[in-house]
Amino acid sequence: MSSRKRFSLPVVLVFLLVLLFLAGAGFTLHHKDHSNLTSGSRTGKVSEDSGAISRKLLRVVHGAKQAKKEPSGGEALPRGIVHGTSNLEMVSMVGDPKQQPGSRLSSKSLLAIPVGIKNKAAVDKLVSKFPADRFTLMVFHYDGAGEEQWDDLEWSRRAVHVSARGQTKWWFAKRFLHPDIVAEYDYVFLWDEDVEVDAFDPVRYLDIVKREGLEVSQPALDRRSEIHHGITARATNGGGDVHRRFYKAASALGGGGCDDSSTGPPCAGWVEMMVPVFSRAAWRCSWGMVQNDLVHAWGLDYKLGYCAQGDRTLKVGVVDSEYVLHRGVPTLGGTEGKAAALRVAVRRRSHAEMQIFDRRWKEAAAKDESWTDPYP
């Protein structure tokens, strides 16, 4: 008898729960039918509102999915074995690995420049200014002259040499200076080769950059240089080590001027592409903007302020006290014959690339609803 009671109690409870569920469902259906009969227009409005909310939620969820980090490829591995970044330091093939320097650099920056054998003497002078204990060197051979033709120079053996005939600095940079590969360098100097550095000290330059909080910078250009934009010329008014803006009167022909109210390029927050210097964070951002197929990077300089990790009128600047002379040697083409024709073709493509980049920027900005332009 007692065992039958113990068995019946759970059955009774289940039966009661089923009855309650059926009663609730019936009430819900009745309430819904009643609402449809008495409040048809109200239900339609609620349905529309619910649809709109659903669409918004879908957009938010889709945006969240898009924002998720892409798989790194190491998910199948134990976390401690994955090294997600690297550097360009040479490592011996022999010896005890435990006796070699640690995998993390103490404090070094990177100098990366395109080089042609015709400019060997000028390149040697430039590179020799950068002390080996503070700078790692990477050279991009664009003329087919390989490492063996540079071996007589002291620094050549410690440089990383990359060769691809007829390619530009930005082609090399996009393919060989991925932010994860250069993540251990404090700053990236991505310079042209036709630069004279008699009045330039890279160590003092970095001291100034750090003190001034510059994320994107360049040395000022000696006024004897080939100067395309006034903001890059060395200021001689004794205003300090750095200038961040440029002043000029508006042109009588309709050209805009630069004054204290100017907040964007080329009046403020802007450097040119011949001798830029990037902080680690600024290079990660800037590398993403470099387009695979646009090898001259024209137009990119007007957007570098977006990578300044803050206000571009403060974080982008030109260092006057450490300056260089830009000789303006046409390395991609020349001034006579076939070389001159190539030079014209290069400039034609550069202009076309700038138009394409500007169009891509506008399209990307219009499509990305999650992005707000800090400089509208």
H helices within 128-221, ranges in order? 169-176, 202-212
User: Considering only CA atoms, which of 290, 128, 143, 283 is closest in space to residue 201?
Assistant: 128
Q: Poorest-confidence range of 38-52, 89-103, 297-311? A: 38-52
User: Considering only CA atoms, which of 113, 135, 127 is closest in space to residue 186?
Assistant: 135
Determine which helix (DSSP H) or strand (DSSP E) holds 353, and give its type and residue range.
Answer: helix 337-367
Residue 63 to residues 72, 270, 299, 361, Cα–Cα distance (Å): 20, 32, 28, 19
d(CA 318, CA 296): 22
Q: Which tokens is 171 given?
A: 């082609």
Residue 53 reports pLDDT greater than 50: no
Express each pLDDT in 3-28 by its tens digit: 444 445 555 555 556 555 555 545 44
Express each pLDDT in 286-298 by its tens digit: 999 999 999 999 9
Name which residue leads in pLDDT, 69 or 207: 207
The type of residue at 54 is: S
d(CA 202, CA 206): 6
d(CA 373, CA 376): 6
Residue 331 reports pLDDT greater than 50: yes
**Single pTM value for the model:** 0.79
Q: Which tokens is 102 given?
A: 């640690």
Phi-psi domain of 162 (left: phi exceeds 0; alpha: psi -120 through 50; beta: other)? beta
Q: Output the CA torsion 245→246→248→251 (10° steps).
A: -90
Residue 343 reports pLDDT greater than 90: no
Confidence bin at 183 (pLDDT 50/70/90): very high
Q: Tell me the percentage of the chain whose pLDDT exceeds 70.
A: 76
Q: Which residues of 197-229 are buried (b: 16+ CB within 10 A; e: fewer)?
A: beebbbeebbebbeebebbbbbbbbbeebebee
d(CA 18, CA 22): 6
d(CA 205, CA 212): 11
